[in-house]
Amino acid sequence: MSENNEIAVPKTLTPQEQAVWDAKAKVRVLLNLWDLGAGQIPVKKGDLTKRIVRTNETSQKYLGVLAELQEAGAIEYSLVNRVTRLELSAKGKEVLADGLQSRDSLFEFDGSQIGTRLGNALLKWIRHQDGAAGVAVGAGKKAESAIASYDNFKALAIDVYDSLNRDYNLDDLVPIYRMRREIGEKVSRSQFSEWLLEMQANDIFQLMAGETQDITSDKREDSITIPGGAFRYYAKRLNS
C-alpha cells in the first residue's frame, strides 16, 4: 500500500514548487530504496513504486525523478529474469546522507503526520549511521571468525544464500557479488572463488550468467570467473 498518511502533491505546481517537490521526492525515493534493500540488495521496481507513490499520485509522476537519479549515478538498474531491479549505489548513499543531514537540504515531511514505513526507515537510517560510526572506531582490528575449511565455507555460503534469497525476494537467483560482500573478510577473494566453484562441482550451486545489461565494474570484479574466462553473476541453489 502507498504511504497514504502523507499529503499528496498538488495537481499543478509552479516551476519553483516543482523543483522543491522533485528535491524532496528524490530523498524519499532514496530512503525507501535504502530501506527495502538494506542498503545493499537490488529491489524490484514494482516494490519501490508501491512505497513511494502516495494517495492521488501515479507512478508516472516519479519517472523524471528516477531518471535523474539514474543519470546522476545514485541508483543503478538491472534486469533479472525480465524483472527490473533498482539498487542504491555508493553515490546514492552520499546523496541520501546529504539530503537528510545538510542544512541546505529542502527535505522535510509534508503534513502533520508521516507514513509509518517512511518514518521507521528514517529511524533505521539514523541507527545505521550510529552503528557505522562505531565500526569505524574499531577499524583496523584483525578480522574475526576467519573460515579455514571448505565445509565451514559451504555451510556459511548456504546460510547467506538462503537469507538473501528469502529476505529480499530474489527469485532463487542471488547475485554472487552480494554473497561475496556479505561473507566479507572471513575468507580471501581467491578462496571464496575456489570454494564457490567447488560447490558448483558438488552440485550445490549452479553459477549462472543471467541478464546483466547494467553490470558495473565493481559488481563484475566481485562476481566470479569460471575456467575459460567467462563471468558468472548469479548463484542458484540446486535441490539436494
Q: Does residue 143 belong to any structural domain of this protein?
A: no
Among residues 136, 165, 188, the one where a domain terminates is: 136
Predicted confidence at residue 139, as pLDDT, reads 43
Q: Identify the helix (H) or strand (E) that includes residue 224.
A: strand 224-225
Query: Do 30 and 87 fall within a single domain?
Result: yes
Query: Do 114 and 171 fall within a single domain?
Result: no
d(CA 159, CA 132): 24
Write out the residue range of the structural domain in which residue 51 sits: 15-136
Average pLDDT score over the chain: 80
Query: Do 129 and 25 fall within a single domain?
Result: yes
Percent of the chain with pLDDT over 70: 74
What value does the mean pLDDT take over residues 146-158?
90
26-35, 130-139, 210-219: range with highest mean pLDDT: 26-35
- In terms of Cβ atoms closer than 10 Å to its own Cβ (0-12, 13-18, 19+), residue 45 is middle
Query: Do 100 and 178 fall within a single domain?
Result: no
Range with the poorest average pLDDT among 27-41, 86-100, 138-152, 212-226: 138-152
> What CATH number did the domain enclosing 114 receive?
1.10.10.10
Among residues 136, 159, 189, the one where a domain terminates is: 136
Among residues 136, 163, 194, the one where a domain terminates is: 136
pLDDT single digits (tens) 18-39: 888 888 889 889 988 988 876 6
In the predicted structure, residue 54 carries a pLDDT above the cut 50: yes
pLDDT single digits (tens) 174-194: 999 999 988 988 888 899 999
Number of domains in the chain: 2
